[in-house]
A and B are shown apart, each in its own frame.
Chain A
């Protein structure tokens, strides 16, 4: 079945470090891919998305490229800030009679000043 696998956390970085969170997926058909972010005590909110192969999603300095050949959608940021500390979820959405979104387990990021 359809699934999303992302790197386990927590990931701890110093401010201004480079961030990569790996995400791979398994899906039938052509899914849309998403990264969501969750801050403490809140629901998830969309960070970025890509809807077809080779698309690059970007927002707030974060980027991810839809790689069909490697079934990956890795999240990157060149210089993290303390305010980026949160839990990040990779997700895919497929049309299976209804548009269901499947999430990875989440990766917690801590950024130290």
Chain B
């Protein structure tokens, strides 16, 4: 029962470097999401994909890009990392419908120096 798998678990970048966070789910969910978690701010939606082939901006999309590679995989790319992007990043997936709960990965802790 893998659920939602994120890689890597930890990453340190220098300002200006790029990286891609990987996410895969094995629950056949249509929708996938990327959130960031910062102290005292809860989770904020970066991008989401309601179904394969579609992506949309969330609350805080600036500085990020995403790719819904197939139904299972949804990646998040930082093209030029900034210290403000230091955060814990969570990928999640869900079935269709507002009543369907999110299933989360264990997160990627990113530090940008």
Contact = CB atoms under 8 A, between A and B. Distances in A.
A41 B9 CA distance: 10
A45 interface: yes
Given A104-B42, A105-B40, A99 B31 contact: yes
Contact of B104 (A41, A45, A106): A45
B98 A99 contact: yes
Interface string B30-66: 0101010000111111001010000010100000000
B94 interface: yes
Interface in B56-110: 56, 58, 90, 92, 94, 96-107
Given A105-B41, A106-B42, A100 B48 contact: yes
A98 B54 CA distance: 10
Interface residues of A, number: 27
Contact of B98 (A42, A43, A94, A106): A94
Interface residues of B, number: 29
Contacts of B50: 97-99
12 contacts: A43-B107, A44-B90, A44-B92, A46-B102, A49-B99, A89-B42, A99-B98, A99-B100, A101-B33, A103-B35, A105-B40, A105-B41
Interface of A: 4, 31-32, 34, 36, 41-46, 49, 51, 89, 93-95, 97-106
